[in-house]
Amino acid sequence: MENLKDYFHPSKMESVVDMKRKYFGTDGIRGKVGEHPVTPEFIMKLGWAVGKVLSNEGQGKVIIGKDTRISGYMFESALEAGLSAAGVDILLLGPIPTPAIAYLTRTLHADAGIVISASHNPYFDNGIKFFSADGTKLPDEVELKIEAMLDEPMTTVSSDKLGKAERMEDARGRYIEFCKSTISSKVTLKGMKLIVDCANGATYQVAPSVFEEIGAEVITLGDQPDGLNINQDVGSTKPEAMRETVLREGAHVGIGLDGDGDRLIMVDEKGEIVDGDEILFIIAMDRYRRKSYKGGVVGTQMSNLGMEIALRDEGIDFHRSKVGDRYVMELLQNTDSLIGGEGSGHIICLDCLTTGDGIVAALQVLAAMQQNGKSLHELKSGMSKFPQSLVNVTMSRRIDPDSDDKINNAIKQVEEELGDAGRVLLRLSGTEPLVRVMVEGRDEDQVSVLARQLAQVVEEVASGE
């Protein structure tokens, strides 16, 4: 039998969730560099397979962008070789944020965009994800065609039909102008001091320019990538350096981006962290106050109950999706909503762009501050976060928490104790042999005790007791 850790490896989890898939997860392909499928041989074959699927449909231009991790050079070359062998032309953008690739794929009328990035992961991981011609995730049927093509022997078109590659020199400039266009030209950031943490990632040549060109004084952190330091003690997943700098410099706001620029965590003038739920709340409330929006707001199963209550008190519909930006996007479309996101800071403003964008989300918050004459701390105070306690339970054997009577009885007892002012969520990790046990309520001590109690029951079931 397979080692349980291998069984839950990202490259194999999709076969557990969907037996049709061998490589694609909910957000492309990701893993440790040098371990299948994140190897140069496989990535070249992947480029070829993508090219064959596109060319079979009469298409033939793909753009490629990457973050700053050292393996990006290797995989960029591998994709280029594979696509060329399939007869597809390539436009290379170099280091640039993931949302910029979504935007440029659409505006350059490319047939697909490819991102080489492992987002907020450390440098020794990498991944490949795709955008369709309209800047959204590839449809499932296209991903399945690519997977089927990967099982075919690799061939090369005749030399006169090989794809050509060229570098695009003004990609960053185009994206900077796009970001600025997502807020009113009347908004100015003059007099505002910002700490911008680029996570030594893909935004380091873009984010400071965006905010400076709108008038802000910018102090930059995480803007010295060396291929190995992406997300290392900086960025949205490690906001402490940003928080300390905000307080030391007397800044108005800290803006923390992740390695590929699609997530945002902020720090207010008091040094308090402002997470994705609070950012989503601020953006939604600003839209409603200006009467520029009438739709609902989409969060996930993990979104804080305090945000849901605050939005509904204002008459704003709130919808919960499964965890993951793909599911947020699906529910946005199904509910005719435009604003959605996750507590991790992945915020989608569909009235601006078709994917999460940390820089664009930050601009929406800064514009709300300027137009309402309020600080970030004042804006976020409109919602009161409920305490959440999250306990990860390691499984020595795979279980289904939803179908276990002992676990379900324990959940009912916790829910009865919480009453209407709390909730319970059990979720299997998509990448590790873990059950994530989350309890949320008004009383922090009660929530913590109940989470530990429930986690103990899950652990007993998982161990076969």
Matching residue, tokens 């490690």: 238
First-to-last C-alpha distance (Å) of the chain: 22
Tokens read off for 394: 């390691």
Burial 432-441 (b: 16+ CB within 10 A, else e): bbbbbbbbbb
Closest CA to 463 of 398, 391, 410: 398
Q: How far is residue 351 CA from its own chain's centroid? A: 18
Report which secondary-structure segment, H or E, holds 450.
helix 444-462
List residues bridging with 49 in a β-sheet.
none
Structural tokens at position 25: 């997860």
Per-residue model confidence (pLDDT) at position 20: 58
Read off the pLDDT of residues 34-47 as tens digits, 9 standing for 90 and up.
999 999 999 999 99
Provide the annotated active-site residues.
119
The band of 4, judged by pLDDT with boundaries at 50, 70 and 90, is very low
| pLDDT for res 309 | 94
* Alpha-carbon 451 to chain mean position: 27
Confidence tier at 431 by pLDDT (50, 70, 90): low
Contact between 65 and 98 (Cβ < 8 Å)? yes
pLDDT at res. 59: 59
pLDDT in tens, 183-211: 999 999 999 999 999 999 999 999 999 99
The H-or-E segment that residue 30 falls in is strand 29-32
361 pLDDT more than 50: yes
Q: How far is CA 231 from the centre of its chain?
A: 14
Lowest mean pLDDT among 20-24, 178-182, 296-300: 20-24
Position 12 scores a pLDDT of 35
In the chain the domains, ranked by start, together with CATH numbers, are 4-169 (3.40.120.10), 175-380 (3.40.120.10), 388-462 (3.30.310.50)
Is there a cis peptide before residue 37, judged by omega within 30 degrees of 0? yes
pLDDT at 397: 83
pLDDT value at position 420?
A: 85
Rounded Cα distance between 443 and 181, Å, is 43
Per-chain mean pLDDT for the chain: 92
DSSP 8-state symbol, 139? P
Q: Find out whether 116 and 47 touch, Cβ atoms under 8 Å.
A: no
Angle between helical axes of 358-372 and 171-181 (0-180°, round to 10) = 30
Give the DSSP per-residue string, 89-126: EEEEEEE--HHHHHHHHHHTT-SEEEEE--TTS-TTEE
Q: At a CB cut-off of 8 Å and minimum separation 6, what does 423 contact?
A: 305, 415, 439, 440, 441
Give the Cα-Cα-Cα angle 19, 23, 301 (nearest 5 degrees). Answer: 75
